[in-house]
Structure 1
C-alpha cells in the first residue's frame, strides 16, 4: 500500500509508481483512471458514506422539536442522496465498460467469502478499539 494524493494517481498508474487503486466508479471515470489501469476488481468491500457533524453543545441547545425535525429531514435527504450517488456510480461504471479500455473483474460469492475469512484476524486485532458488537454488525450486513 502507498498513500498518494488522488491528483497524482493517474500519473502514478501511468509511470508504474503504483499498480492499482481503490475508489468509487465516479472517481475512476471522472479522472479517466481506466485509461491507465487495465483491470478493476469490483469487490464491494467498502461503503462510501457521508455524515453531518456538528458541535454537541449547539446540537443539544436546539429545541427538541427543531432537533427532531432536522433529524427527520436529514434521514429523508440521506436516502435520496444515496440513491443519486448510486446512480452516478453505476453510470460512471457503464462509461468505463463502454470505453473498453479496462476489464472489470467481479468477485464471485465464494471469492468474497474467502476475502472475508482472510480479514477476520484483522477484525479481531481491532475489536478492542472498534467494539465486537460493531464488527459483528458490519459482518452481518455484508452477507
Structure 2
C-alpha cells in the first residue's frame, strides 16, 4: 500500500510539474525574414528596421521581423520569387523590375506618368494604388504601403535642359529598358544603355554627354563632379512597396494583420520624410560644388513628345489603358 501510494504521489507531482513547464513555455514567435537591397542608414533601411521593431513590440513577439540589408538574401528578381513562394516574409521592392511578374506595374515606368512626387503619393495612396495592390496580391504579394524612390531627372556636361530641343543630339545613359530608350529617342537624344558603374568615367571622357537619376544618386555616385548641369525633368517617379508574402500574411490573426498594416503605413510616412531630408541634403552638396540646377516651368512639351511612347505601349498592352487614363485624370 505504501509503495502504491508513493507511486501515485510521484505520478501526480510529475503531472503537475509537466503542466507547469508547459504553462511556462513562451508563445512561439513567428520569425519573419525581410529583404532589403539598401545599406544601413539609408531612408528605406531605417524605415524597415523601425517597422520590424514596432511590429515585434506591438504583437508581443508573436511576429518578430528581421531585416537583412545590402541584398544579402539575393537580387531583387530572386527576392520577388522568394517572397511570392513564402521563403521570405516581407520586402521593400521597387516597381521598376516588377513588370515581368506583375504586368500592371509597367505603367509606373512610363515617363511623365506622374506630374511630381506629391502626385505619385496621391495616386498610390488612393483607389488606383489599390488596383496595383490587387494585381500584386494575385501574384502572392500583399502591398501594405508605398515608399518613395524620388524623381529621376536629366543631367549633362553641356547645358541646362529647359525644353525637348535641349536634349537633341545628346548621348544619354539610360537603364536597360525599352521604355527609357524610347523616351530619350522621342526627345531627340541618343539613348545609351550602360552599366551604372561605367557612367562616371564615360561622362568624364565624353563617351556620353549625360545620364539621369535622383538627387541622392547623382550626389553619392559623384556624377556631379563630371556633370555640371542638373535639370528637373522629373521624368520617372517610380514607387516602391512594403510587401508581405501572402502565405505569411494569411497566417496572421486579424488583430496582428491590423498591427502589421498600421506599422507598414507608419514606415512609409517615415521613409518619405527621410527621403525628402536626404534629397535636400544631396541637393545642397551638389549646389555647393558648383552644379547648376534648373527648374522646368512647363513640362507639357516633354509630355507631348511621349505620345509615340505611350501609343506603342498601349498597342502592346491595351488592357492597361484604363490605368493610364485614371492616373492622368487624377492630375
Whose Rg is larger?
2
Alignment match, 2:306: 119
Counting only pairs closer than 5 Å after superposition, residues 45-84 of structure 1 correspond to structure 2 as 45-84=235-274
Matches of 2:282 and 2:230, distance apart in 1: 13
Return the match for 1:96 from 286, 291, 296.
286
For these two proteins, the number of residue pairs brought into alignment is: 139
- Aligned match of 2:294: 105
Per the alignment, in what secondary structure is the counterpart of residue 249 of structure 2?
helix
Task: Pick closer, same or farther for the CA change 1:13–1:129 going to 2, 3 Å.
Answer: farther
Q: How big is the shift at 1:62?
A: 2.3
C-alpha distance after superposition, 1:20-40 (max 9, x if no partner) = 111111111112211111222
Quote the residue 2:202 is aligned against.
Answer: 12
**Which of structure 1's runs of 4+ aligned residues deviate more than 4 A?**
none
Alignment of 1:138 onto 2:327: yes
State the superposition RMSD in angstroms.
Answer: 2.0
Helix, strand or coil for the counterpart of 2:307?
A: helix
How far is the alpha carbon of 1:130 from its aligned partner? 6.7
Measure the CA separation in 2 of the matches of 1:54 and 1:129.
29
Deviation at 1:51, TM superposition (A): 1.5
Query: Partner of 1:107: helix, strand, or coil?
Result: coil
TM-score, with normalisation over the residues of structure 1?
Answer: 0.83
Distance 1:118 1:130, change over 3 A: farther
Of stretches 120-129 and 74-83 in structure 1, the one that deviates more from structure 2 is: 120-129
**Maintained 8 Å contact 1:123/1:135:** no
Q: Secondary structure at the match of 2:293?
A: strand
Compare the two structures and name the one with the higher strand fraction. Answer: 2
Cα distance between partner residues in 2 of 1:129 and 1:71: 33
Tell me what 2:211 maps to. 21
1:41 match: secondary structure = strand
Q: Cα distance, 1:13 vs. partner? A: 0.7
Counting helix residues as a fraction of each chain, which structure ranks higher? 1
Q: Secondary structure at the match of 2:193?
A: coil
Q: Which has the higher contact order (CA 8 A, sep 6+)?
A: 1
- Structure 2 gaps of 5+ residues are 1-190
Query: Given the two structures, how large is their TM-score scaled by the length of structure 2?
Result: 0.39
SS at match of 1:62: coil
